[in-house]
Amino acid sequence: MPGLRERKKAATRQALHEAAMRLAVEHGLEQVTVEAIADLAGVSRRTFSNYFAGKEDALLYGDEERLRTLVDAFAVRPPDEPSWTALRHAFDDLYSRLGRSPDPEWAQRVRLVKKHPSLLGRQMANYATTEQRLAELIGQRDGTSPGSTRPRIMAAAFLHGIRIASTLWVEEQPPRPFEEIAHEVMDELARPFH
């Protein structure tokens, strides 16, 4: 269990993220400033800078946490599971922790990313970092040589599948459960990996 200092840091980071989301939804991303986020979270501008490089990072913190949790879940899957199966089970584990439907904040974040290129660019940078780590883990699991393309392609396809499923889930009318959409996308993506 994390110590008091780590819990306080996590709480501050979460408060800044929530303040950024609230301001972006209420006023639009263009109107949000780092100062306003810090004020709403009850911290200084300097404290904000200790946690995030800018408002985009604060807004996308929830995505980064989900990606980190997904990578951690994949890393501890049984070693005899094929990589694609392990990725899907890691995703299902994450989804089951979120409940039957992703939280409304996730939908708001997906909508904001679709609307603002600066957020999309930052999200793609986060995905690229996660993709690299996942590719390394896939390569280790599959015993491929460093620089192999298959682990990189699999990691990229999987992460973009999650992004596509999120976008479809927000756009679809009438809405279907996120899990159903995600499984459809993953089934389509799985074809080359079986």
Low-confidence ranges of the chain (pLDDT < 70): 98-104, 192-194
The pTM (predicted TM-score) of the whole model is: 0.83
CA distance 44 to 41: 9
Q: What is the pLDDT of residue 193?
A: 59
Q: What is the pLDDT of residue 61?
A: 93
**Among 21, 20, 32, 23, CA closest to 104:** 21
Contact 145/92 with Cβ under 8 angstroms? no
Residue 155 one-letter amino acid: A
